[in-house]
Amino acid sequence: MNIILLGYGKMGKIIGEIAESRGHQILLKIDENNRELLDSIDPKPIDVAIEFSQPEAAVSNISWCLNHGIPVVSGTTGWLDQKPQMDQLAEEKQTGFFYASNFSIGVNVFFKVNEYLAKLMNEVSGYEVSIEEIHHTAKKDAPSGTAITLAEGIIKNQQAFTAWHLSDQASENGQSIPISSKRIDPAPGTHIIRYQSEIDDIEISHTAHSRQGFALGAVLVAEWLPGKKGVLTMNDFLSF
């Protein structure tokens, strides 16, 4: 399979190594220093693009892929206010667009555990919920995309919440979940959900030991995506 990498930072390099170890060819590695190469390459040999860039580059990268009929796997966070436009473009072009806040199989199991716990907590009272996420200092956006997905999972399954907010910011009402974002090297990513009461605490967590799980998941999705159309998610991939 012929792959282009849009974003060649730490994650992009690991993705490239894993893809090549699985027999794929990396045709092009794009970063902020050579973005102009996209305007001159022939898109026909490209089977799929994997996009792990920066928030400010994500929309232009994804748009380029979809407008050229190239399926694209994106894991860039911090730009999701513009995702509806990319979803619409993918549907118009009938080209596969796969976005996930986290490609780790373990994290996606954790998402489901979080939703199930949120449903159970609808039946009890006296608990306050919070989310904590810890990442390396090079991560620019806060909270993490994974933390936002976890908050959305709680909101979807609990009647008490309608929004989330960073814990160092004031909440507009009592129906918002506080998210604490910490940046500590070399943490690849830790996410903790806490339900706290005067009587006891309930806590679930996921800790990544390296970026390998994220990168492998992205490559597995890239292998699966060609030939599929429209907007797809990890639920489609994993058939949860």
Q: Which residues are documented as binding site for NADP(+)?
A: 44
Distance CA 90, CA 92 (A): 5
Q: Rounded to an integer, what distance in angstroms lies between the CA atom of residue 189 and that of residue 206?
A: 8
Q: How far apart are CA 6 and CA 43, in angstroms?
A: 13
DSSP reduced 3-state for 90: helix
Active-site residue set: 135, 139
Decide: helix, strand or coil at residue 87.
Answer: helix
**Contacts made by residues 227-230, CB under 8 angstroms, sequence distance 24+:** 227/96, 228/71, 228/96, 229/94, 229/95, 229/96, 230/90, 230/91, 230/94, 230/95, 230/96, 230/97
